[in-house]
Chain A
Amino acid sequence: MAIDKATVYGIARLARIRIDEAQAQSLVGELGNILDWVEQLGEVDTEGVQPMTSVVEMRLPLREDAVTDGGKPDDIVKNAPEAAHGFFVVPKVVE
């Protein structure tokens, strides 16, 4: 399926990836080629076929609703680009 530049910009915004004009232009072709190629699935008769949800025949296990880990705020923020007082610091989001 052909996709246009506006669609590429729309997807990039949803994916939270900034792209520039030149990238948008080349992505129109690249993504279009990949989508054309995957569209051969349209040939397959899937009437009444259940979509696969789990490749292994198993029931998801249940566990006790109990705290099994925690109490390590320093570990949690250790790799943060910016942290203060045990919190992640982000740019201001409320005016």
Chain B
Amino acid sequence: MSELTRISLAEARDLLGKKELSSKELTEAHAAAVEAARPLNAFITETPDRALAMAEASDARRARGEAGLLEGIPLAIKDLFCTEGVLTTAGSHILDGFQPTYESTVTANLWREGAVLLGKTNLDEFAMGSSNMTSHYGGAENPWRRSDSNAKLVPGGSSGGSAAAVAARCALGATGTDTGGSIRQPASFSGIVGLKPTYGRCSRWGIVAFASSLDQAGPMTRTVRDAAIMLRAMAGHDPKDSTSVDRSVPDYEAALTGDVKGLRIGVPKEYRVDGMPAEIEAIWQQGIDWLTAAGAEVREVSLPHTKYALPTYYIIAPAEASSNLARYDGVRYGLREAGDAPLVEMYEATRAAGFGEEVKRRLLIGTYVLSAGYYDAYYNKARQVRSLIARDFAEAYNHVDLLLTPTAPSAAFAMGEKMDDPVAMYLNDVFTVPASLAGLPGISVPAGLSADGLPLGLQLVGRAFDEETVLRAGGVLEAAAAFDAMPAFVAA
């Protein structure tokens, strides 16, 4: 076991800054941890050689007195971010062998700030899933186990490989992407912090697109401070993404004052869904009590259209996906099947072989709701309801500064569960999807353990571009929860 993989990103940064540690030492320890954690299947591609070269270059920069915000810090990258010259799969068979000739803006920002690439993490195929089980490479496994069972559990999804890697101490932090909960739900399942920034805060350029009006990149780390540090490096305006917002990036770490006195926290009554497990209800109440004890004013608010968020999402996201994924046709990259057949047959054979069942289901739903005669009934209706959902949040923020909810309706479930009922799987995102539809920033912070010893997260949702308040209150929750439980599997 290496102590160097147990420290936080902030602690590593400080040790590197004081030259008590080199990036080479830190990176070697983490590359060894990545290798030791192979049973988790958290990585699709490991890049130890590149990591070492990047670490040595980082140490050389530091010796010259140049140091970025993440100088020398080894990170894992969700395999949805294009990385120049490194296999990028999106967890799909259809991108077999794809080596981008360009770098995504978010990862380029991380390397500019001195970070080191450990490898590319596993995910649900094209980020469509809440379990990691739809990955062509097999699902990543959660390093946590129930206290009374050895059943293998999912790390959540879609950024499940990133969550597993950070929880198992393979990486100091990882990137995720969140379309309907794909950062926050796996963070909750894996006992780590996951932050989905405001839509437009991080550039989407070079991230394999799923649903472009919802997709947003964010950090997954073991502490709130680490998330603040990473987000500052990831965020920023990018002319290559026309929806990226031209606003200055604050020093998010400076927002962590630990003070929430007078902050108004809303508890949306519609989130008390029927059949909510008692332990989810209890951890939510615990969060209310912690914030109240810290001086915040907690009050009930109403988000009347909450129950329509999931069906809205499952029209809009598949519709956008059916358009975005039209590009996988066997011509420009990846898999080609039936290359000698006529063109349309080649397309159909390639897409039949290249996409998994869940992706096909969503592409077919998306194609249907956009097709002639159904566009108004489904797609336009969903966009209208989306406006109402966003309006609910705007109205609530007239009265409160933040919302507090559970992150997910359960703790991690076993690999293979919920696979035969797509709608049951979709319900995982019941608490995360509304904020996605409204484009708002949300964080999941580990708050405690379930009766059978699994992590449970609490979610804070803030106003657009108010990640600072989200992080500040997240820090207070984190301090109150003092979550220090360790998963069953930790990379040696």
Do A and B assemble together? yes
Residues 19-40 of A contacting B (Cβ, < 8 Å):
19, 27, 30-31, 33-35, 37-40
Query: Residues on A close to B: CB < 8 A?
Result: 3, 7-8, 11-19, 27, 30-31, 33-35, 37-44, 46, 49-56, 58, 60-61, 63, 72, 75-82, 88, 90-93
- Over the window 427-462 of chain B, the binary record of Cβ atoms lying under 8 Å from chain A Cβ atoms (1 yes, 0 no) is 000000000011100000000000000000000000
Are A78 and B101 within 8 A (Cβ)? Answer: yes
Chain A CB within 8 A of B415 CB: no
Are B336 and A41 within 8 A (Cβ)? Answer: no
Chain A CB within 8 A of B305 CB: yes
- Over the window 89-113 of chain B, the binary record of Cβ atoms lying under 8 Å from chain A Cβ atoms (1 yes, 0 no) is 0000000011111100000000000
Residues 386-403 of B contacting A (Cβ, < 8 Å):
386-388, 390
Looking at B157-165, B183-191, B345-353, B473-481, the stretch in contact with chain A turns out to be B345-353
Are B361 and A11 within 8 A (Cβ)? Answer: no
B361 interface neighbour in A31, A38, A58, A91, Cβ under 8 Å: A31
Known: A15-B351, A63-B239. A40 touches B311 (CB 8 A): yes
Distance of A38 Cα from B315 Cα, bound (Å) = 7
Closest CB-CB distance, B336 to chain A, in whole Å? 4
Distance of A34 Cα from B57 Cα, bound (Å) = 51
Are B308 and A79 within 8 A (Cβ)? Answer: no
Looking at B61-69, B121-129, B292-300, B363-371, the stretch in contact with chain A turns out to be B363-371
A31 interface neighbour in B245, B312, B342, B365, Cβ under 8 Å: B365
Query: Residues on B close to A: CB < 8 A?
Result: 97-102, 198-200, 213-214, 239, 242-243, 245-246, 305, 307-308, 311-312, 314-315, 322, 326, 329-336, 339-349, 351-352, 355, 360-361, 363-365, 367-368, 371, 378, 380-388, 390, 422-423, 437-439, 464
Across-interface contacts of A37 in B (CB, < 8 A): 311, 314, 423
Are B314 and A61 within 8 A (Cβ)? Answer: no
Distance of A72 Cα from B384 Cα, bound (Å) = 43
Closest CB-CB distance, B178 to chain A, in whole Å? 13
Distance of A95 Cα from B101 Cα, bound (Å) = 35
Are B438 and A17 within 8 A (Cβ)? Answer: no
Closest CB-CB distance, A88 to chain B, in whole Å? 5
Give how many A-B residue pairs fall within 8 Å (CB-CB). Answer: 169
Are A44 and B213 within 8 A (Cβ)? Answer: no
Closest CB-CB distance, A45 to chain B, in whole Å? 9
Are A38 and B314 within 8 A (Cβ)? Answer: yes
Known: A17-B351, A51-B383. A34 touches B365 (CB 8 A): yes
Known: A44-B308, A46-B385, A55-B390. A91 touches B352 (CB 8 A): no
Closest CB-CB distance, B326 to chain A, in whole Å? 8
Other 16 A-B pairs with CB < 8 A, given A38-B311, A54-B213: A16-B329, A17-B364, A19-B360, A31-B361, A37-B311, A38-B315, A44-B308, A44-B381, A46-B385, A51-B384, A52-B390, A56-B245, A56-B439, A61-B239, A76-B101, A93-B342
Closest CB-CB distance, A7 to chain B, in whole Å? 8
Top 8 nearest A-B pairs by Cβ distance? A51-B383, A55-B439, A81-B336, A79-B333, A46-B384, A18-B348, A75-B101, A18-B352
Are B363 and A44 within 8 A (Cβ)? Answer: no
Across-interface contacts of B383 in A (CB, < 8 A): 51-53
The listed residue with most A CB atoms (<10 A of its CB), out of B305, B312, B322, B365, is B365
Are B422 and A58 within 8 A (Cβ)? Answer: no
Are A14 and B390 within 8 A (Cβ)? Answer: no
Distance of A44 Cα from B377 Cα, bound (Å) = 12
Distance of A19 Cα from B264 Cα, bound (Å) = 53
Across-interface contacts of A82 in B (CB, < 8 A): 336, 339
Closest CB-CB distance, B6 to chain A, in whole Å? 39
Are B351 and A81 within 8 A (Cβ)? Answer: no
Distance of A43 Cα from B381 Cα, bound (Å) = 11
Are B339 and A91 within 8 A (Cβ)? Answer: yes
Known: A11-B364, A16-B351, A79-B98. A41 touches B423 (CB 8 A): no
Across-interface contacts of A16 in B (CB, < 8 A): 326, 329, 344, 347-348, 351
Across-interface contacts of B332 in A (CB, < 8 A): 77, 79-80, 88
Distance of A38 Cα from B242 Cα, bound (Å) = 30
Are B464 and A56 within 8 A (Cβ)? Answer: yes
Are A44 and B305 within 8 A (Cβ)? Answer: yes
Distance of A41 Cα from B356 Cα, bound (Å) = 28
Are B342 and A79 within 8 A (Cβ)? Answer: no
11 contacts between A and B (CB under 8 A): A7-B368, A12-B364, A18-B351, A35-B368, A37-B311, A55-B213, A55-B214, A56-B439, A75-B102, A91-B340, A91-B341
Distance of A82 Cα from B346 Cα, bound (Å) = 13
Distance of A33 Cα from B421 Cα, bound (Å) = 9
Across-interface contacts of B243 in A (CB, < 8 A): 54, 56, 58
A41 interface neighbour in B311, B333, B437, Cβ under 8 Å: B311
The listed residue with most A CB atoms (<10 A of its CB), out of B213, B314, B367, B464, is B367
Distance of A27 Cα from B358 Cα, bound (Å) = 11
Distance of A16 Cα from B351 Cα, bound (Å) = 7
Across-interface contacts of A30 in B (CB, < 8 A): 361, 422
